[in-house]
């Protein structure tokens, strides 16, 4: 995916598309402090790097496995982490 911003940062919609989740998920990651914006677009909306998104997903997954004993990326198939 090519970011629409020349800085290489992604909008919330682009970040969601890259990560295979809905935009509401990206906003939840920010609200829960798994993800911090790396910049703002011209309208003041948060923008994210692909690296920060991958790190946020890692944190979310680690937290879910530790606290709830399942991998959130596997919930689509109903599989539980061992």
Q: Which CATH architecture has domain 12-71?
A: Orthogonal Bundle (1.10)
Return the H-helix or E-strand segment holding 39. Answer: strand 39-40
Predicted local confidence at residue 55, as pLDDT: 96
Cα–Cα distance for residue pair 74/78, rounded to 1 Å: 6
Going residue by residue through the chain (82 aa), what tens digit of pLDDT does each one get? 665 666 789 999 999 999 999 999 999 999 999 999 999 998 999 999 999 999 999 998 888 777 776 666 666 555 554 4
Q: Which residue has the tokens 């919609």?
A: 13
Residue 69's Cα: distance from chain center in Å?
Answer: 20
Which pLDDT score is estimated for 64? 78
pLDDT score of 67? 75
| Domain ranges within the chain, ordered by starting residue | 12-71
Residue 49 to residue 68: CA distance in whole angstroms? 28
């Amino acid at each position: 995916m090519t970011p629409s911003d020349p800085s290489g940062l992604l909008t919330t919609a682009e970040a969601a598309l890259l990560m295979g989740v809905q935009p509401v998920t990206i906003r939840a990651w920010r609200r829960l402090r798994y993800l911090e914006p790396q910049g703002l677009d011209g309208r003041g909306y948060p923008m994210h790097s692909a690296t920060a998104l991958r790190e946020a997903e890692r944190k979310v997954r680690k937290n879910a496995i530790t606290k709830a004993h399942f991998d959130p990326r596997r919930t689509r198939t109903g599989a539980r982490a061992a």
